[in-house]
Amino acid sequence: MNRPIRLAFSPDSDDIFMFWPLLEGKVDTEGLSFTAERADTETLNRRAEGSDEASAERPDVVAVSIAQYARVARDHLLLPHGMSVGRGYGPVLVATGATAPPLASFAGKRVGVPGLRTTAYLVLRLLLPDFEPVVVPIAPYARAFEELRAGAIDAALLIHEGRLFYEREGTAKVVDIGEAWARETNGLPLPLGGNAIRRDLGPELVARVSRVCRASIRWAADHAPEVSRALLAAETRADVGLDQASLDRYLAMYANADTLDAPADVRRAIDVLFERGRGAGLLPADARADFAP
């Protein structure tokens, strides 16, 4: 293959953390060249299934929600590194006010969700089967809070950095779905996102790309303060309001040992997530995770 390997990932800090060393020339690319594009989570999920008409070509490596990987597994392998995992924490459902009512009270209500292909939406649907989803894009950051204040939605499901700052926006936690997932699964972590690689690259190229991506993540982990400072200096989402402390907190949550290589309990959690999603009729009947080397 003579063309560059096309990467697509979100503007969120954990995704950029993983790929920054690769794109900045910090690791051996084994003779490969790479291009990168960034898009919000639901756009990336559409790109993986080829349903984004705005782009002519699918990425070779694309950051996807783990729930969405179940729908695109026929054409993709899941890289065993690069995952975002919540261990007793995860996306947060919030409502306006100093205190929020219990989750069950939102049955039949309008709930803002970041996308119908996201893991957050799938898990919330497993926890609360009867609600009306309203897709509220994660960018701009303030959109979900504006919709809440306007009364357009009764609650909002927050992912990525938004889940750090809900209290300063005058909202209260209804449920942390990572906490709820752990209770429902005897302590399993919640696998939220990962990187899918196209099967049609062939085994040799898949293995090379996987090695390079793994090396990039390892370099970032070994040089975390340097990468963190670079990410903050390059941050363009002024409305998010990240500072060094909040960025480091976020990276500790979602760019950590689980990101370097998915351990056995994370792989088990994916199996359980797919099993429960299939049982609820929310995922394809043949959904399963197939890992690249």
Q: Could you report the per-residue pLDDT of 205-225, keeping only the tens digit for each? A: 999 999 999 999 999 999 999
Asked if residues 32 and 209 have their Cβ atoms less than 8 Å apart, the reply is: yes
Asked if the bond preceding 140 is cis, omega within 30° of 0, the reply is yes
Q: With cut-offs at 50, 70 and 90, classify the pLDDT of residue 235.
A: confident
- Tokens 């480091």 correspond to what residue? 248
Half-sphere exposure of 63 (CA within 13 A, CB side): 29
Q: Is residue 215 part of a domain?
A: yes
Domain end position, chosen among 184, 215, 250: 184
Residues 6+ apart with CB under 8 A from 217: 18, 81, 82, 259, 260
Distance CA 155, CA 164 (A): 16
Residues recognised as catalytic: 160
Residue-wise pLDDT for 83-132, tens only, equals 999 999 999 999 998 888 999 999 999 999 999 999 999 999 999 999 99
Residue ranges making up the domain that contains 243: 5-85+189-279
Q: Are residues 180 and 194 in the same domain?
A: no
Final residue of a domain: which of 154, 184, 214? 184
Q: How far apart are CA 185 and CA 227, in angstroms?
A: 34
Last residue of a domain, one of 184, 209, 237: 184
Is the pLDDT at 239 greater than 80, yes or no? no
**CATH number of the CATH domain containing 163:** 3.40.190.10
pLDDT digits (tens, 9 = 90+) for 17-60: 999 999 999 999 999 999 999 998 999 999 998 865 544 578 99
| Token code pair at residue 238 | 């002024």
- Residue 148 and residue 197 in one domain: no
Residue whose tokens read 């941050």: 235
Q: Are residue 80 and residue 116 in the same domain, yes or no?
A: no
Radius of gyration of the chain (CA): 18
Same domain assignment for residues 32 and 166: no
Task: Point out which residues pair with 186 in neighbouring strands.
Answer: none
Whole-prediction pTM = 0.94
